[in-house]
């Protein structure tokens, strides 16, 4: 089992969710976050004054899935989140040692 964590642009969330549903991923957690990478934020003008926005709004998606779906899920996220502009995001994959569905007590891949 693996955990995929993806940080994407907020307006791409629905496209990513639909792409993952098409390949058989039926659950995820999405969290509104702020961050920056190489783009280091940007300047905006508000009421005539310029200020630097250092942290940009992003969405973090966490998905627990079986090893068999990992490569397809990564590619689905990459294609759906792609804009071709700086700040499209990142995808991280980590091992998942154990999972349990609270309601039924099912464990590991049965719990996913």
| Total tally of structural domains belonging to the chain | 1
Q: What is the pLDDT of residues 20-36, one digit of tens each?
A: 999 999 899 999 998 87
* Banded model confidence at residue 60, pLDDT cuts 50, 70, 90: very high
Answer for the pair 87, 55: CB distance below 8 angstroms, yes or no.
no
pLDDT of residue 44: 64
Please provide residue 98's backbone torsions phi and psi, each rounded to the nearest 5 degrees: -155, 145
Residue-level length of the chain: 112
pLDDT, tens digit (0-9, with 9 covering 90-100), for 2-12: 999 999 999 99
Distance CA 55, CA 7 (A): 13
* CATH classification of the domain holding 59: 3.30.70.120
For residue 89, what are the domain limits?
Answer: 2-111
């Amino acid at each position: 089992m693996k955990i995929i964590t993806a940080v994407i642009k907020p307006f791409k969330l629905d496209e990513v969710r639909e792409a993952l549903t098409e390949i058989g991923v039926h659950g995820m957690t999405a969290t509104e976050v702020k961050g920056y990478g190489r783009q280091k934020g940007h300047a905006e003008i508000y009421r005539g004054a310029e200020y630097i926005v250092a942290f940009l709004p992003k969405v973090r998606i966490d998905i627990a899935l079986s090893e068999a779906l990992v490569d397809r899920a990564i590619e689905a996220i990459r294609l759906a989140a792609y804009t071709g502009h700086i700040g499209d995001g990142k995808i991280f994959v980590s091992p998942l040692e154990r999972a349990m569905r609270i309601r039924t007590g099912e464990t590991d891949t049965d719990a996913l």
